[in-house]
Every structure is written in C-alpha cells, then in structure tokens.
Structure 1
Amino acid sequence: MGNPSGPPFDPDDPDRERRERDTEHIPRIDPDDGPGHGDDPSLSDDPTFGDDGPGYAGEGRSGRAWIRDPEAGYQPPQFSEDELAGLRVEDVPRRVLPLDDEPSSLTARYLFPTERYRGEWKRHWIHLSTPIIIGVAATFVLGYLSGFLAGRNVGALTTVAVLLWFAVMAWVAWRVADWWYDRFILTNKRVMVVNGIVTRKVAMMPLARVTDMKYEQTPAGRALNYGTFVLESAGQDQALREIKNLPNPNELYLRVVEEMYEPQAVEARLTKQAEEAAEDGA
C-alpha cells in the first residue's frame, strides 16, 4: 500500500532507492558516549559505529561535520586545496604576531625548567605619558625661570631652579627605567607581572585558576592600541588582577585564551614554525 501523503509506490522508479536512503533515520547520541567513552553494547552492534567513523552522527568533537557513507560508515570531511587556501597564514592577515624564541635575561630568571615561554610585553608607551608631560613642562617653565632670574642677577635662585630641573629629570629617568623593567610574561603554565628596580615584585597567577578574563579599551586606547586586562581567579586572594596599559590587547587576549583552551594547538604551531625555520636555514 502506497504512502497516502506522498507519490504512489512504483517498484521501477529509479530514484526510489536514493529517496529511501536520503530519508533514512540517522541516530544522534551524546558525543561522550561514542567509542572510547562508554561500553554501551547497543552501539557495538551497529555496523555504522565502527573504527571507520567517529562513533556518532552529526558533528565531531572538533565541531566539523562528519559524512555518512553507506559503505564505509562515517568519514571525516574532505577538503580540497582550493578550500584550504584561505586558511593558510600567508594568505590572510596575521592576528597573532610572531614571538621571540628565547626569553630575555630579565625574564629567564623567573622561569622554571619545565614551563614553556610564550612571550613577554612591556607596557604601552602611554604608561609614560605623565612623566613625559611633567618633564617637558618642567623644562620650559624652569628654563624660562632660570633665564629670567639670570637677567636679574639673582644667582642663588637661578641655581635652585637648575637643581630643581635636574631633580625632575632624574625622576623622569627613574620612571622610564621602571617602565623598561616592567614586564607582563606568559608561559604555558601561568601569567606573571615583574616590576621594580630596587625592590623587585613578582606577581603570578596559574592559567588553571583563571576563571574569567577580559580587556577594556577606552577611546584613546582603541586609537593608540592599548588596554587594561582584568583576570578573575577561583581564589579570593589574587596576586594580580588588573594590568593596565598593555599593548596590542586583542593579540594578547588571543594568546592567553589559546594557551588556556588549546595548548596542544599552540605547541603544534610553534613546532611547525621551528621546523620551517630550520628548513629555511639549512
């Protein structure tokens, strides 16, 4: 008896087998219940859930769709060279800049042997805006004052003005040196902030304890490409939470997030880059 809601049954219809195959029910189960994730005997009896497929219909754990082949079972999708061309690094703008291979001597002393260095960043030059403005203003004001006092033959006050200018310049130099030694460091285990010239301060947070991370950019930060990072931890007492005036915040955000969620991908990419560099140098 034919289906009253569809076309009449025709045993000689050449498209009948294709329509039945296209409308065949495809089971969907939890990805975690696939092969290697459980001992459900109902799956082992299904020939489509064998070694040739991922163990379930739909999308794999990587988020890509699997293709059901009536003869070979479920197969991973196949991509042509043209489809993959747009994903190659040389064909698209780089969102993550290359890293230095080795940490600086300033950073290396704070790394233990088994962790892998991912990068270090000085704060954006905007961090020096206040001392630079003060230094420039002091130069103009005290320079004019020294000339004015020298014309009045007031040698003692002129000397005071010059000494005051030297004091301001020394403070500016101190702030610039402090900026130079202030580093934000990322490894595969933790994030660190190291600062201080006379009194060194080292604050760190394990990546495993970071529960939330965001960065904020003011209009000036968007124009000059800097931002403030805010790290949330599972613990109450945090060694570091807010890091201001970090350069390239989007790039840095991608690096930290990738290190938190896809450490194997980072390691594979860096290994491939090292191999390509070795081949180019050979």
Structure 2
Amino acid sequence: MTTPPGPPPLDPEDDDRFRRERDTEPIPRIRPEDGPPPDDGPYPGSSPYPEAAGYGAAGSGAWGSEGYRDEEGYRSAPRITEDELAGLRVDASGMPLGTRRVLPLEDEPTPLVARYLFPTERYRGEWKRHWVHLATPLVVGILATFILGYLSGFLAGQNVGALTTVAVILWFVVIGWVAWRVADWYHDRFILTNKRVMVVNGIVTRHVAMMPLARVTDMKYEQSPLGRTLNYGTFVLESAGQEQALREVKHLPNPNELYLRVVEEMYEPQAVEARLGKEADEAKADDGA
C-alpha cells in the first residue's frame, strides 16, 4: 500500500512572509449589519464581544444591549474616563496622585512648639486634643453657675450677706479652675517630626515626653462609640516592652488621618520628603505665576 504524497515543503522566505502578513493584518471593524459574532470566547458559551454580556446600543456612544458602538455604528473598545485613570497615576516617588487620605502638612511650628525642636529634625505637625477633653470642666462650670447663682440669690433674699459672699467666692473659684483647665488644654500639644513623637503640656510646670520613631515597635489607636461619633481616639505606642515616658495619649482628633500620618513617617519617609518637595515646587510656581 503506497502512502499518498504529502504537501510540498514551504519556501522559508514564503513562510516568513506569511507570518509577517498574518501578524500585521488589521482586525476588521464589524458593522451592525454583519450579524451577531460567533460564540468563540475563551470559555464554553462565552464570547469575546461585549454584546454577549448584554451591553450597548447602536449609535448611542455608550454601553447597551448590543455592545459599545460609536456614532457610526461600529463596535469599539470601552472608553476609560479621566476619573478612572486618576487612581492609576503616580508621581516620581510612587505616591498616587489622586485624593489624599491624610491631611496636608503644616509649614511651620508655632512658637510654643518650636523651642522643643532641634535644628536637624523636620517638623510634620502639631495637634491639640479634641474638645471632649474639656467636657468635665465645662460641665462643672455650667452646673456651678446655675447652682451657686440660684443659691446666692436665695441667700440674698434671706438677708444672709456672709453666706451670699461665700457662694459668690466659691463660684469664682470654680470658674477660675475651669479657665485653668482650658488654658492647659490650649498648651497641650501632640507633635510629630521625622525623628520622634512628643507630648508637651503644662502651664507653670512644663512636661515634655517623647519617643523616637525608630524605637516604636507597635502603635494602635482605639475609638469608643462616642469617639467614633465625635471623631477622636486614644493612641497607644509600644517600645520593645520597655518603660517609656510616652505610651498612651488620649483624646486626639482625627485619629485615622493622624495614624496614617505617623505610619507613613515611620515606614515611607522618602515618600513624605518627595511629596513635600513637589508641593514646595508647585507653591513656588504658583507664586511666580
């Protein structure tokens, strides 16, 4: 039994020419009148064309029941908006150019804080404690005003001048204590630099507690239900199981943004520097314009 002759061998030059023409052949555009596309997608019952998923309408310029079609009726690739691309763009440091998840950094420290910074560290920000830190003294002051005011009026009607004077003096003492607590709250700051975190408080006797960022082994923040409602929290910093002057800081505002700020400073200091340099260049360009 003789074997039928096979096809003649291809010329190598013809074979290369065939591959080039096949690889560079443009994909034809399909008009609506060409009929539905074949169901030859990568999986059984699927199709590589968007109309198989039930999208597109002819001439609508958008996705509908027949795939994406432009104004001429051709099927084409989906359009990606600028908003969708914004999340994919990054700057030279690799940081996204989209919406920030952290608050902008302050330029200069206040005189209250500047005295505690050494020349080679870079200032990142300072924060006063949340106003809820003053809840107790404010409530005491309000109650004392109503109670002692009523009591002094009642005693004045009873012609008891000495007790009325005592009630008024007691009210001044309470209000003075409230004013002291408010002033102490104003001078109480949580400070972040590229080297350390600090807490400075006190009016007559100043207390300065600090922890180097390189020594922080764990950091977390806690929010009670009231803290989530009013947007404050408590920060807890750990340092290799050792005793430290700064461990728990209560009633800090915007805890999530502040947490991201501290963590970024701990793990991505180069990205912070790059972002600050870019912001400084943009500010100079705006001033020049």
Normalised by the size of structure 1, how large is the TM-score?
0.70
Q: Deviations over 1:44-90 (max 9, x none)?
A: xxxxxxxxxxxxxxxxxxxxxxxxxxxxxxxxxxxx99564235699
- 3-state SS of 1:243 partner: strand
2:51 corresponds to which residue? Answer: none
**Which of 256, 260, 272 does residue 250 from structure 1 map onto?**
256
1:281 corresponds to which residue? Answer: 287
- 3-state SS of 2:237 partner: strand
Q: Distance in 2 between matches of 1:131 and 1:93?
A: 39
Which amino acid in 2 is paired with 1:215? Y
1:205 corresponds to which residue? Answer: 211
Structure 1 alignment gaps of length 5 or more: 1-10, 19-79
**Which of 228, 233, 239 does residue 227 from structure 1 map onto?**
233
1:175 corresponds to which residue? Answer: 181
- 3-state SS of 1:231 partner: strand
Q: Which runs of 4+ in 1 moved over 6 A?
A: 11-14, 88-91
1:139 corresponds to which residue? Answer: 145
Relative to structure 1, the CA distance from residue 88 to residue 177 in structure 2 (aligned partners, 3 Å threshold; closer, same or farther) is: farther
> Is 1:85 aligned to residue 91 of structure 2?
no
Q: What does 1:3-82 correspond to in 2, within 5 Å?
A: 82=82
Which amino acid in 1 is paired with 2:259? Y
Aligned length: 209
Q: Distance in 2 between matches of 1:148 and 1:99?
A: 55
- 3-state SS of 2:116 partner: coil
1:123 corresponds to which residue? Answer: 129
2:32 corresponds to which residue? Answer: none
Q: Distance in 2 between matches of 1:135 and 1:151?
A: 24
**Which of 150, 157, 161 does residue 155 from structure 1 map onto?**
161
2:242 corresponds to which residue? Answer: 236
Q: Deviations over 1:180-237 (max 9, x none)?
A: 0000000000000000111100000000000000000000000000000000102512
1:138: how far off? 0.3
1:281: how far off? 1.1
Q: Distance in 2 between matches of 1:259 and 1:225?
A: 22
1:263 corresponds to which residue? Answer: 269
Which amino acid in 2 is paired with 1:232? E
> Is 1:106 aligned to residue 112 of structure 2?
yes
Q: Distance in 2 between matches of 1:277 and 1:244?
A: 35
Q: Distance in 2 between matches of 1:185 and 1:227?
A: 16
Structure 2 alignment gaps of length 5 or more: 1-9, 24-79, 91-95
- 3-state SS of 2:217 partner: strand
Relative to structure 1, the CA distance from residue 262 to residue 126 in structure 2 (aligned partners, 3 Å threshold; closer, same or farther) is: same
Aligned-residue CA RMSD (Å): 2.5
